[in-house]
Structure 1
Amino acid sequence: MKYIKTYIAIFSVLLFSSCNDFLEVDQTGKSTIPVFFSDMDGVRAALPGAYSSVYKYYGEEFVLYPDVAADMLDLNAVGDNSMIAQYNYDSNPDQEITAVGGIWTDAYEALVNVNNILYYYPSLVEAYPKSEDELRIIKAEALFLRALIHFDLVRVYAQPYNYTTDASHIGIPVLLKTPGSDDDVPRSTVKETYTQILKDLKESETLFADNLSGESTYYASKNAVYGLLARTYLYMENWAEAVQYSSLAIASTPLSEGQEYLDMFLKVPTKDESLFKLNGKLKNPEIIKFYNLQSPSGYASDKLMGLLNENPDDIRFQLLELNTLNNLSGTLKYVKKDMPTAEKYYNIIVLRTSEMYLIRAEANNNLNIIDVAIDDIKTLLARNYQKDVGDISISENTKAEVARLIDKERAKELAFEGHRLYDLTRTKQDMIRNDNTTSSVKEVLYPSHKFILPIPQKEMDVNTAMIQNEGY
């Protein structure tokens, strides 16, 4: 991956500086990276930088894309909108600076930074045996981040795990070490990619040992590993493991209720239902501009509003704000109102307990344990409708009906959090928007090559082992 390897030494990410010529940095990095990782201060500085590099791609196109390309969000087509190509399913490999190239570049840049930590781990343990416990946790965090980045990339640039019966279709380049300048790294299969994700997560789980949570959910922990394992097994349709790990996550972190639930998004609480979130202190991500309340680029579609309107007491209405000038309902999940600039804090929640209930419900439903699946949905509805669980009645009682109910609840609960397109594709649904959508594309039928982004052309040009996605 010659294009990717140019990020081999981007300490602009690790040290929060910048550089204009990555190829130039490559030569400098060959000497500076070993020096940087030669002591504990270096690796301690590298870890926050690795988290920051993950925040970078989450705060830009990565979280936006799955909602923009799905059916629960409409786009304001007036003015300059960087996501318009994905909204209209008009992505092409030459779009280097928007979603196509932006997600690829930023995510692999983050991956290189994480791999540097893992590469120098053995020499640091040897040099600093008294710091072995600290280094063990650092390695566990880095392995979690590496698994997360690979999982994110394979969802964007490869068809879902169940696209073929054995997941043998083409995936992404699995990067476990920084390639040399002459190395061309091919794409692994989706099965191979998921196998590595699970390997990293299981090792991370072991290394965390009894350390269930770190200083805060801004850091990876065993609870975060449980959450990502639950989500990964859900996508693999390994229902029993999905139940196991979602249950562990639920046991570790209770649901947020009432105002605490709203404050999870609207404020910066010290404790909430998040299993892992990215620290947005003093950040100004693109996602904030996209969802600004005065003139949002993206807003709730009539299809989403129709689902929410089924119960006017739904607490999630309070996470939307209607702009009376344009009659658009924008999300408050990222826009912190009335927050002083000096306290600007745009956190991005990656994993949270509400999703774990939905994962467990879906997995149990597919295991034909329908009553247990319904119980989990009742728990979420009780929280969202601000009622007691005993007051919640669900008429759906067949596997197919409960599956549709879970899909509907995922659409409402996880709206604007970067899930919807993947929920459609992994469950093999068509993408069908409401008739008054502002997009030129009202439906995309499953399966379709359009459900994944192309590999950036710059990568294709310099990496002879790279294969372009079908249809591009």
Structure 2
Amino acid sequence: MKYIKTIITVFSFILVTNCDSFLEVDQIGKSSIPVFFSDMDGIRGALPGAYSSVYKYYGEELVLYPDVAGDMLQLVSVGDNPMLSQYNYNSNPQDELTAVGGIWTDANEALVNVNNILEYQPELLDAFPESADELRIIKAEALFLRALIHFDLVRVYAQPYNFTADASHIGVPVILKTPSSDDNVARNTVKEVYTQIIKDLKESETLYGDETGSESSYYASKRAVYGLLARAFLYTENWTEAVSYSTLAINSTPLAEGQDYLDMFLEVEDDDESLFKLNGKLKSPELISFYNLQSPLGYASEKLMNLLDENPDDLRLQLLEFNSGANTYGTLKYLKESLPIAEKYYNIIVLRTSEMYLIRAEANNNLDALTEAITDVKTLLARNYQKDVSEITITENTKEAVAALIDVERTKELCFEGHRLYDLTRTKQDMVRDASTSSNIKEVLYPNSMFILPIPQKEMDVNTGMIQNEDY
């Protein structure tokens, strides 16, 4: 059996017990899944399961990896640190239980859960025409999630879109339907992956029509679609569309200000600047133990603190806490220390309005619209320094200088949220850590095969259609 096929036959919506082998799970799954989706209750139950499966890989390695492999995080390099291989750029295809195999397995499980919803939705539409509107929104949400999963996989296991002039380099498999056990799942080009991502998001946008979707950012909605399209167009360097969709996202959801900005991370807020977040109620993701304040495995590097310390009034400094014993600054973006243990919500924000301002600024700068780009940066600086926009002065006046300014602001705004490595690679920068880094890898020069993770060896062993990444 192929590895991806092995993953997807374990259907996460159905609990199968007393099975002696994967083959038995496979047969039970084949007969049970159509029954599960034979009525509206089945698909209604499947959707929360799909969100939960996405949370699983976000809460484990996906959010950690881009910061660990970047230049703004310091790791404890002794003891049992699950991200140490990625920190030291010595990831091994044999590592099934850490980032290499963990992201691949969990993301593909999530992908199959979503594809099952999309596969059976048309049959339910025929059987329950009175539920057409509900099924339309369910499909819109599932398409958003499928786009998000493909986007996550292609960033982790493939070089950035602009690695080749036409994005013809190898990407990840585009999986739109559960493969059979006889299928050898091959990798598509990066261009093909992004084409599918954008296609799914555009269809989702159309399905929402004049509706905005859920009021809660715990669910996919039209504003979430706007946000992910803006990010996808940024990564593909379609600057005009990046401006258009980031503007739609900004118009849909106001920027959080002052205490509301802090509470977005420190409390459980339903009405904040999140375009889409994953519900972490009573969850125990790995990133919580990784960033715990008493004995953190990862904390802000000297390089990051030097950037944030440039202005002592920066609101974002309040999202860090100093541990005098360890002499470290840890992030508060996930911990919600004020909540009693019985009410813990380890939410993970995937898309938010602050990022949209940075996307629009970067896209406008590349369109030579420097005034518009600087205006968006000023808006964020005013919020972060708790001043009026008129009090903010930016002296940068060239495209290159503004690009550097935007990069710094992305670093400060999105730290610990899983962006840094991708910002380095898509802008073709070297990864250079400060002199105090605990890693034996001080710098990695772009381009480099080590900027992406290997395909797990288990996949390579059983799937003859799969190609390993260079130098692994």
TM-score category, normalised to shorter length: over 0.9
Looking at structure 2, the residues matched to 342 and 56 of structure 1 have their Cα atoms a distance apart, in angstroms, of 20
Looking at structure 1, the residues matched to 309 and 210 of structure 2 have their Cα atoms a distance apart, in angstroms, of 44
The answer to whether structure 1 residue 247 and structure 2 residue 247 are counterparts is yes
Give the aligned partner of residue 140 of structure 1.
140
> What amino acid sits opposite 2:454 in the alignment?
P
The answer to whether structure 1 residue 198 and structure 2 residue 174 are counterparts is no
Could you say what secondary structure the match of 2:299 adopts? Answer: strand
Give the aligned partner of residue 100 of structure 2.
100
C-alpha displacement at 1:23, in angstroms?
4.0
Give the aligned partner of residue 262 of structure 2.
262
C-alpha displacement at 1:22, in angstroms?
4.2
C-alpha displacement at 1:90, in angstroms?
0.4
- TM value normalised by structure 2: 0.98
The 8 Å contact of residues 69 and 86 in structure 1, kept in 2 or not, is answered as yes
Aligned-residue identity in percent:
75
- Over 3 Å counting, the alpha-carbon distance change for 1:229 and 1:392 in structure 2 is same
Give the aligned partner of residue 120 of structure 1.
120
C-alpha displacement at 1:92, in angstroms?
1.2
C-alpha displacement at 1:15, in angstroms?
5.3
> What amino acid sits opposite 1:274 in the alignment?
S
- Over 3 Å counting, the alpha-carbon distance change for 1:427 and 1:274 in structure 2 is same
The answer to whether structure 1 residue 327 and structure 2 residue 330 are counterparts is no
- Over 3 Å counting, the alpha-carbon distance change for 1:346 and 1:17 in structure 2 is farther
Write the mapping of 1:163-202 to structure 2, written as runs, cut at 5 A.
Answer: 163-202=163-202
Give the aligned partner of residue 424 of structure 2.
424
Give the aligned partner of residue 289 of structure 1.
289
The answer to whether structure 1 residue 445 and structure 2 residue 440 are counterparts is no
C-alpha displacement at 1:8, in angstroms?
2.8
The 8 Å contact of residues 16 and 49 in structure 1, kept in 2 or not, is answered as no
C-alpha displacement at 1:17, in angstroms?
8.1
Looking at structure 2, the residues matched to 15 and 405 of structure 1 have their Cα atoms a distance apart, in angstroms, of 49
Could you say what secondary structure the match of 1:8 adopts? Answer: helix
The 8 Å contact of residues 167 and 190 in structure 1, kept in 2 or not, is answered as yes
Could you say what secondary structure the match of 2:210 adopts? Answer: coil
Give the aligned partner of residue 63 of structure 1.
63
> What amino acid sits opposite 2:290 in the alignment?
F
The number of residue pairs the alignment matches comes to: 471
> What amino acid sits opposite 1:291 in the alignment?
Y
The 8 Å contact of residues 15 and 49 in structure 1, kept in 2 or not, is answered as no
The answer to whether structure 1 residue 14 and structure 2 residue 13 are counterparts is yes
Give the aligned partner of residue 81 of structure 1.
81
Give the aligned partner of residue 228 of structure 2.
228
Q: Which structure 1 segments of 5+ residues have no match?
A: none
Could you say what secondary structure the match of 1:329 adopts? Answer: strand
The answer to whether structure 1 residue 26 and structure 2 residue 26 are counterparts is yes
CA-to-partner distance for each residue in 1:51-79, whole Å, 9 max, x for gaps?
00000000000000000000000001121
- Over 3 Å counting, the alpha-carbon distance change for 1:313 and 1:17 in structure 2 is farther
Q: Which structure 2 segments of 5+ residues have no match?
A: none
Looking at structure 2, the residues matched to 52 and 222 of structure 1 have their Cα atoms a distance apart, in angstroms, of 20
- TM value normalised by structure 1: 0.98
Alpha-carbon RMSD across the aligned residues, in angstroms, is 1.2
Write the mapping of 1:44-63 to structure 2, written as runs, cut at 5 A.
Answer: 44-63=44-63
Could you say what secondary structure the match of 1:424 adopts? Answer: helix
> What amino acid sits opposite 2:411 in the alignment?
A
- Over 3 Å counting, the alpha-carbon distance change for 1:327 and 1:17 in structure 2 is farther
The 8 Å contact of residues 91 and 100 in structure 1, kept in 2 or not, is answered as yes
Give the aligned partner of residue 348 of structure 1.
348
> What amino acid sits opposite 2:169 in the alignment?
H
> What amino acid sits opposite 2:367 in the alignment?
L
402-411 or 212-221, which deviates more: 212-221
The 8 Å contact of residues 454 and 469 in structure 2, kept in 1 or not, is answered as yes
Looking at structure 1, the residues matched to 252 and 151 of structure 2 have their Cα atoms a distance apart, in angstroms, of 23
The 8 Å contact of residues 15 and 45 in structure 1, kept in 2 or not, is answered as no
